[in-house]
Amino acid sequence: PPPTPHRPQWRRRRQLRPASRSPTSECDAPDRFAMEDRGGEIPAKRPPKPSDGGEDRLSAVPDELLIDILLKIRDASAAARTSVLSRRWRRVWTLLPELHFLPHNDPHRIRLALTAHEAPALGFLNVAVIDATPESMVVWLQIAARRLSGHLRLINTEENTSLDEAGERGAFELPCFEDAMSISLELGHLGLAVPSSGVFARLTNLFLNRVRLHGPSMLGDAVSWPQCPSLRRLIVHNA
């Protein structure tokens, strides 16, 4: 029978309907071919890079390098404060072969630092103080005498003390530094009593500047052969 008048219109409507996308359409062809070239293997996703936020890189640095870094600071108090940077840095400053104390350091802090020092040898102790008193010297000098095996430099700068006031402050006794190789004292006319006993066995150089000598022992007795058998050089200024 002849087609009805509505059938051609129905066919045209079917031709206008969008075709459903097949799983293997041409749009997927490149991915399918790429997978076939790799032997059917699907590449694994790369794991995300670990965050460096919690990594303690400072702890991986060798002790020798850390010690060299802290030596360049030339400030024992600042070196001790670096212990907050890393677990390894908490004790590195105690291994320094040199300790430098800048002015305005509390003498008790100097004593604590010397007590905590763990290096096999303290080769250089450099202490600078301002308007020191005999009591403030005694606080740490005894410990320094036991720890030092190299060079001592002590400088007392007077900012608010006259010459007469310096004499009224009294004197402190220098303990026997048995292993010290050189001692340099600039005391700002602070009183110094030389020890009557003990041997400075390794002392080769002694420098005294602005020192007020006290006590029964004279300087000649203190630097005599029995007490300083290795002394080679003695320099005295304004004593």
For the chain, the domain total comes to: 1
- Whether 194 maps to a domain, the answer reads yes
Cα 30 to Cα 44: distance, rounded to the nearest angstrom: 18
Q: Which domain holds residue 168?
A: 97-237
- Whether 56 maps to a domain, the answer reads no
**pTM of the full structure:** 0.71
What's CA 181's distance to the chain center, in Å? 26
- Whether 212 maps to a domain, the answer reads yes
pLDDT of 76 > 90? The answer is yes
Single-letter code of the amino acid located at 107:
P
- Whether 218 maps to a domain, the answer reads yes
Q: Phi and psi dihedrals of 176, rounded to 5?
A: -80, 115
Q: pLDDT by residue (tens digit) across 115-162?
A: 999 999 999 999 999 999 999 999 999 999 999 999 999 999 988 656
- Whether 144 maps to a domain, the answer reads yes
Q: Tell how strand 148-157 and strand 182-193 pair up.
A: parallel
Q: pLDDT by residue (tens digit) across 15-47?
A: 545 555 544 444 444 444 444 444 555 455 554
- Whether 65 maps to a domain, the answer reads no
Percentage of the chain modeled with pLDDT above 70: 71
- Whether 33 maps to a domain, the answer reads no
